[in-house]
Amino acid sequence: MEYMENRELSWLKFNKRVLEEASDPVNPLLERLSFSAIYQSNLDEFFMVRVGSLTDEEKNDGKKKDSKTDMTPSQQLDAVFTAVRRLQPMVEDTYRKTMGELAEYGFEQVSFETATQEEQTFLELYFKREIKPFISGIVVNDALPFPFLKNKELYAAVQLGSKKGVSIGIVPVHHDHSERMIPLGEGGKRFILEEDVVLQFAHLMFKNYKVLDRAIIRVTRNADIMVSGGGSDFRDRMEELVVKRTKLAPVRLEVSDEFSREALDYICKKLRIKNVRVFTSRIPLDLSYLYALQELSDDKKLHYINRSPRVPSVLSETKSVFSQVRSKDILLSYPFESMNLSFIRLLQESANDPKVTSIKITLYRLARNSKVIDALCTAAEKGKEVLVMIELRARFDEANNIEWSKILQQAGVKVIYGPKDYKAHSKLLLITRKAQGGGFDYVTQIGTGNYNEKTSAIYTDLMLLTADREIAADAENVFNALQNGIFVENTNKLLVAPLCLRDPVLEMMDGQIELARSGGHGYIAAKVNSLSDKVIINKLVEASQAGVKVELVVRGICCLIAGVEGYTENITVRSIVGRFLEHSRIFIFGKDGEEQKIYIGSADYMTRNTIRRVEVAAPVEDEKLKKRIRDMFRILMSDNVKAREMLSDGTYVHVERRDGEEPLNSQEYFYDEAYRRLEEKKNRQERMRKNREKGAAKKTASGKAKKRTSRKKTS
């Protein structure tokens, strides 16, 4: 279809936008390097999950086609590999340019060839004393087995002289005591990478052989694992699967620079990987060390302006969060407002409140030293009913969540794992408290992001806190369904996938289509991480054809192409990639006014979210909060610094500023707004304090005057 884009190719376009941030002069130099590392980390995960999945499909059902673009798994893989190779020169040029500019600030990554004679002597001694005793070289030929190469680990591969056939030497680069960046001066800013040293002296590991060629190699393995939920042994099966993942088949082989074709073919044969999956890079194969460079300089020009989450201006620090939510709905915005001083505070207060009877929550990803877990354990130890639905299948967090589930159970928490074959991705909390005079009060929290204090400082997310009883009843039904391994079939106010989210969304879109067809001004807007649900895409196309104005902010995958004549000319798609990861999900139906409906929630417009997971979205009904979200969306659509707009050919270009238009970076704007709101609150409090003091002084003065008058009358 003319207005459809392949999911994998769309994702690669997103990662290209990340890479563009690595060369954007608006970003400080060390922050640019971080984007290079993020690009590579993203690509690693893409190969492990998406390429892994396509590889499995190619083997199992090679004729199955992508429903949007009619491509077979093989065709998609070929397109992916071609797109990745085309980006590689940009990856290398960006990295080299940034490292070159950092030389002005004393940063220099040295190769063995560019090291001084004195440094080369030091490095040889360093290899012999600090590296060689902890690693071992393995010779491989047709008579000797090929070693297991760990996922994403670096190895030195050398071709050894052999009278018969091919012989390869494999040397692991890292060990438990290794230091990736070996400092050579300038406080560590002048350094050489450990793999360069191992590669240089690899011949010392094979003294009885002549080394013909050498290179660093890195294998990426399939990580696309899935197990059905349910059963008393579910956690045990997940633990086994996490171990199994480390040994899944390779899906990519990376090689540093040029390497002997004969040796490379031999390695591919042993790994059972096709040559088309071999990728050459002339920069380090693992860029994760670039984050460490951030710590080597406190020069403000090299870093973003220091920002820290603010105390939410809507919250009083003297009243409990629960009581404040009972008075009015509260909307929190991260990372601009502090999770610790809002949500964590609510949990901690509830854990210690003797009137709180139960806490129920869904957990997907958590911080390493999670205060959420601490509060839940405290609540259980104090005798409250605590129910935790923890998703053990959260990709790459399986092992962490398995351990958290054990800790929670030891504290007396009731732990459940959700329905079979469906991940629970919702961000939902329900707190029940005894009310004064009998009965119960409820606070329900619905969010767009995880209960993770670390990511809440770098992801943009929204969180709604409400005492609405209908929403609380819906939340209770969600938790009851999760306990029983079934799905919610009817709701009062919440949208709950897999059965009660997509259809209501489509109905609200239909309402805007009917409005436009009857001569009104239909409007649909959404901010999501990804858009790939074909049913929703087709409905948006129908809306566009009916004259509905559609505005979409889609950070990553967007399988809908905007601006295609006859289909999507009334649709605008923007993507914002900046300092913080755009993660909030907002659904808007209708122009400003009483009929407008606004929701926030955990679901993207992807089939996996709308009908294959347990997701929750909540209506924002308070008019002040609705206005705040409308204003936020308007700022996002006005961003002319970090926003890119999709063209009708599916490419993205930076939004250009009009003549005289001021730069607007939406993320910086929201941080400025959080600072301003808090400052205004402090100023109000200070004025009130001074007024109270003046009032007290007047009262005191008046009292003294009355006493003097009274004494005079008496005398």
Q: State how far the Cα of 71 lies from the Cα of 353, in Å rounded to an integer.
A: 57
Cross-strand partners of 279: 254
Please state, as a whole number, how many other Cβ atoms lie within 10 Å of the Cβ of residue 76.
Answer: 22
Single-letter code of the amino acid located at 121 = T
Compute the radius of gyration of the chain from its Cα atoms.
29
Q: State how far the Cα of 665 lies from the Cα of 580, in Å rounded to an integer.
A: 11
Q: State how far the Cα of 435 lies from the Cα of 404, in Å rounded to an integer.
A: 32
590 to each of 148, 262, 570, how far by Cα in Å? 57, 63, 15
Reduced to 3 states, what is the DSSP secondary structure of residue 448?
Answer: coil
Please, where are the H alpha helices in 569-621?
607-610
Please state, as a whole number, how many other Cβ atoms lie within 10 Å of the Cβ of residue 363.
Answer: 27
* H helix or E strand, kind and range, residue 43: helix 29-46
- In the chain, what's the furthest Cα-to-Cα distance? 128
DSSP state of 224: -
Nearest-5° Cα angle at 635, 634 to 637: 65
Token pair for residue 162? Answer: 């052999």
Q: State how far the Cα of 389 lies from the Cα of 481, in Å rounded to an integer.
A: 11
Token pair for residue 617? Answer: 């979205």
DSSP state of 48: I
Supply the DSSP string of 489-520, one letter for each residue.
---SS-EEETTBSHHHHHHHHHHHHHHHHTTS
Q: Is-catalytic flag, 174?
A: no
Q: Say which of 203, 303, 425, 583 is annotated catalytic.
A: 425
Q: Which residues contact 443 (CB under 8 A, 6 or more apart)?
A: 322, 325, 326, 346, 429, 430, 431, 433, 465, 466, 467, 472
Q: Which residues are catalytic?
A: 425
